[in-house]
Amino acid sequence: MLSLLILVPLIGIVILNLSARAPARRLAFWFALLIFISQILLAACRHPVLWNVEMKQIDTFFKVSLSMDQISFIMLLCIGIVSIASLLVARHTIYDEKELFKFVNLLIITSIGMNGIVLVKDIFTLYIFLEITALASFVLIALEKDRNAIEGSFKYLILSAIATIMLLTSIALLFMVSGSTSFEAIRQALNLANNNIILFAIGLFVCGLAIKGGLVPFHAWVPDAYSSAPAAVSVLLGGIVTKTVGIYTLIRLLIAVFGFDPSLKTILLALGALSIVFGALAAIGQNDMKRMLAYSSISQVGYIILGFGCGTFLGIAGAIFHIFNHSIFKSLLFVNSAAVETRLGTTDMNKMGGLSSKMPITGTTSVIGMLSAAGVPPLAGFWSKLMIIVALWQSGSKTYSFIAIMASVITLAYLLIMQRKVFFGKLSIENENIDEARIGISTASIMLAVIIIGSGVFFPLVFNKFIAPIQELIIR
Amino acid sequence: MSGDYWQIFLTFGFFIILTFVCGLYCMLVSRNIIRAIIGLELLIKAVTLLMILVGYVSGRTSVTQAMVITIIVIEVVVAVVAGGIALRSFRYNDNLDIRGLKRLKG
């Protein structure tokens, strides 16, 4: 069953590309929509009958060992939701049918890579899926062959390749120590042996993933890549790609393989706090809407790492829930920026103002997304931040919880600046004739806003169904 | 540890470090996009050699063989994408200077 999440999209792409004529190109969009909707439904209902179906013949043919647990369900859900939002935005921002076909193909490849990352239990297969995702994202950023996009894509490519080299070196060293590449075997070997080579390998791995996730000393590519990418690609990258590739992988490996070391905890807490403060302060000074959202993304990733660095159940649960929330509200804000960009042709915030009266749906949903990002109750972002801050306080890192609360105020500040410059205030004369965004973009933003409100208001339900089962993974 | 074994280990180690330093130097010093990509390739080659050495040391050459072939395939794809981006950048700037890539700031 699990291998179908990878094989069905793969076979679908091959069949669609066999005849790249107009009917097949039109079919591609609906095929992608169908895949992502079925992925969301499968991950949301989580009925064991569906997930435990055995497929002997496919499994013997496709010899990648996959496994599924509570965190994977949440990630699969996020991947499905954000991919649908990105697909809907692409339909109204990429006008040429051939270009849209290319985008849909690359989007499906990215989702194959991310599904693989979420499901693997072998460190070398993890590397392969990381590379699939990264390669598809380089091409996606440079899809429109825009001058800035080429630059952003090249920066991402170089830094990502260096991260890959770090990961590969680490994989080689871990393979030497344990003689195998599966998570379980490496964990057992690490429990027995403890020397400097292992410490070096773990350090390299964490650094490589920090580059891929865009944590602060390694963040230089994030604003360039996000702000120069086409609108639909920004939704995908900012919402889910870097979080799956960098942050989720870090969480998975530390829980399943490396284990929590006190010194590693200190490093993670420091990295997280640095990311939060730097990202928030840098976001205040931006004039470009997408660039501000990119810095905001760095800051929110800091919260995830900070919560995860506690090492307690509440901290890790908060981190996972914040990944979910971040992927929803950040993709909502990027969808709004795409809506503004299609109507105004620019993302410079100084040329905007008062758009709320002309674009009511975009204005309203962006207020919801912004309040969730700033952590205002009862929206979903509040609960995950609360969990993270309480976990920090309980585990004794009171300074860090203080930093997290203070930075939350800065988050509210820069998001309010964005709202005031873009949606509130006086409408300028050039923008008198703009309309509401196209129906697809509005649908995407309404869908994401409903998810934010729903998971915030029904938080006890969400907590019991999705977050609480994580406990059995951590206490082992 | 027999002498033969130790000699192979040392030879491999020497060349891994040499390739790695060459790649790093190439990436840090040159200001040409193509040379930066070549430096990147050299670094990946060093890691591939390390993988072969690791397979030899741990006595699992068959597994590492498969891994090394996979790494080579992926690295070729990275090189192709990087080359495509370099080509497009050349068409915009009319040169391959890496200092042409500083429009995005802030």
Look at residue A20 in the predicted model and tell me its pLDDT.
67
Residues of B in contact with A139 (CB under 8 A): 81
Q: Which member of A131, A145, A152 has the closest CB to residue B104?
A: A152
Tell me which chain A residue has its CA closest to the CA of residue B89.
A150
As a whole number of Å, the CA-based R_g of chain B is 18
Mean pLDDT, to the nearest integer, of B56-65? 88
In this structure, what token pair is assigned to residue B36? 């930066």
Contact pairs from chain A to chain B, CB under 8 Å: 87
Residues of B in contact with A205 (CB under 8 A): none
Sign of the alpha-carbon dihedral angle for B57, A127, B89, A102: positive
Q: Is residue B104 part of a domain?
A: no
H-helix segments, A179-230: 183-192, 196-213, 221-228
Q: Do B70 and A168 touch (CB under 8 A)?
A: no
Q: Do B51 and A124 touch (CB under 8 A)?
A: no
Residue A475: left if φ>0, alpha if ψ -120 to 50, beta else—which one?
Answer: beta
User: B97 forms bridges with which residues in the sheet?
Assistant: B32
pLDDT in tens, chain A (476 residues): 778 888 899 999 999 888 767 777 888 899 999 999 999 998 888 777 777 776 677 777 777 778 888 888 889 999 999 999 999 999 988 888 888 999 999 999 999 999 999 999 889 999 999 999 999 999 999 988 888 899 999 999 999 999 999 999 999 999 988 888 888 888 888 888 778 888 899 999 999 999 999 898 888 899 999 999 999 999 999 889 999 999 999 999 988 888 888 888 898 999 999 999 999 999 998 888 999 999 999 999 999 999 988 888 889 999 999 999 999 999 999 999 999 888 888 888 888 878 888 888 999 999 999 999 988 888 888 999 999 999 999 988 889 999 999 999 999 999 999 998 888 888 877 777 777 778 889 999 999 999 999 999 998 888 888 888 888 777 65
Split at pLDDT 50, 70, 90, the class of B73 is very high
Cα(A268)–Cα(A254) distance, rounded to whole angstroms?
Answer: 11
Q: Which member of A145, A164, A172 has the closest CB to residue B88?
A: A145
Q: Would you give the DSSP letter of residue A345?
A: S
Sign of the alpha-carbon dihedral angle for A253, A112, A171, A245: negative
SS3 state of residue A343: helix
Q: Which member of B64, B74, B81 has the closest CB to residue A128?
A: B74
Q: Do B85 and A138 touch (CB under 8 A)?
A: yes
Given a cut of 90, whether residue B68 has pLDDT beyond it is yes
Q: Give the side-chain half-sphere CA count within 13 A for A26.
A: 2
Task: Report CA-CA distances (Å) from B45 to A165, A333, A352, B15.
Answer: 10, 41, 50, 10
Amino acid at A196: N
Residues of A in contact with B70 (CB under 8 A): 124, 128
Look at residue B1 in the predicted model and tell me its pLDDT.
54
Mean pLDDT, to the nearest integer, of B15-20? 94
Q: Is residue B101 part of a domain?
A: no
Q: Do B74 and A142 touch (CB under 8 A)?
A: no
Q: Which member of B51, B57, B85 has the closest CB to residue A154?
A: B85
Q: Which member of B47, B77, B104 has the closest CB to residue A224?
A: B104
Cα(A257)–Cα(A190) distance, rounded to whole angstroms?
Answer: 8
Look at residue A156 in the predicted model and tell me its pLDDT.
93
SS3 state of residue B78: helix
Domain count for chain B: 1
Q: Is residue B41 part of a domain?
A: yes
In this structure, what token pair is assigned to residue B26? 């190439």
Look at residue B5 in the predicted model and tell me its pLDDT.
80
Cα(A416)–Cα(A240) distance, rounded to whole angstroms?
Answer: 24
Q: By the 8 A CB rule, do A287 and A350 touch?
A: yes
User: A182 forms bridges with which residues in the sheet?
Assistant: A122
Q: Do B81 and A138 touch (CB under 8 A)?
A: yes
In this structure, what token pair is assigned to residue A108? 């499906």
Residues 13-32 (A) with a CB less than 8 A from some CB of B = none
In terms of residue numbers, what domain contains B73? 3-96
Cα(B21)–Cα(A448) distance, rounded to whole angstroms?
Answer: 48
Q: Do A135 and B78 touch (CB under 8 A)?
A: yes
CATH number of the domain where residue B29 is located: 1.10.287.3510
Check CB contact of A393 with chain B, cutoff 8 Å: no
Check CB contact of A463 with chain B, cutoff 8 Å: no
| Nearest Cα to Cα of residue A258 among A306, A314, A186, A317 | A186
Map tokens 């993270």 to a residue: A388
SS3 state of residue B54: helix
| Nearest Cα to Cα of residue A441 among A72, A57, A97, A85 | A85
Domain boundaries of chain A, sorted by first residue? 261-476
Check CB contact of A158 with chain B, cutoff 8 Å: yes
Residues of A in contact with B57 (CB under 8 A): 176
B79-99 pLDDT tens trace: 999 999 999 999 988 888 888
Task: Report CA-CA distances (Å) from A436 to A30, A362, A418, A450.
Answer: 25, 8, 19, 19
Mean pLDDT, to the nearest integer, of B35-49? 93
Q: Do A154 and B82 touch (CB under 8 A)?
A: yes
Q: Do A148 and B54 touch (CB under 8 A)?
A: no
Look at residue A118 in the predicted model and tell me its pLDDT.
92
Q: Is residue B103 part of a domain?
A: no
Q: Do A154 and B64 touch (CB under 8 A)?
A: no
| Nearest Cα to Cα of residue A231 among A298, A154, A290, A165 | A290
Cα(A217)–Cα(A355) distance, rounded to whole angstroms?
Answer: 36
Map A296-323 to HEC letters: HHHHHHHHHHHHHHHCCHHHHHHHHHHH
Is the preceding peptide bond at A460 cis, omega within 30 degrees of 0?
no
Q: Which member of B50, B81, B103 has the closest CB to residue A135?
A: B81
Q: By the 8 A CB rule, do A174 and A123 touch?
A: yes
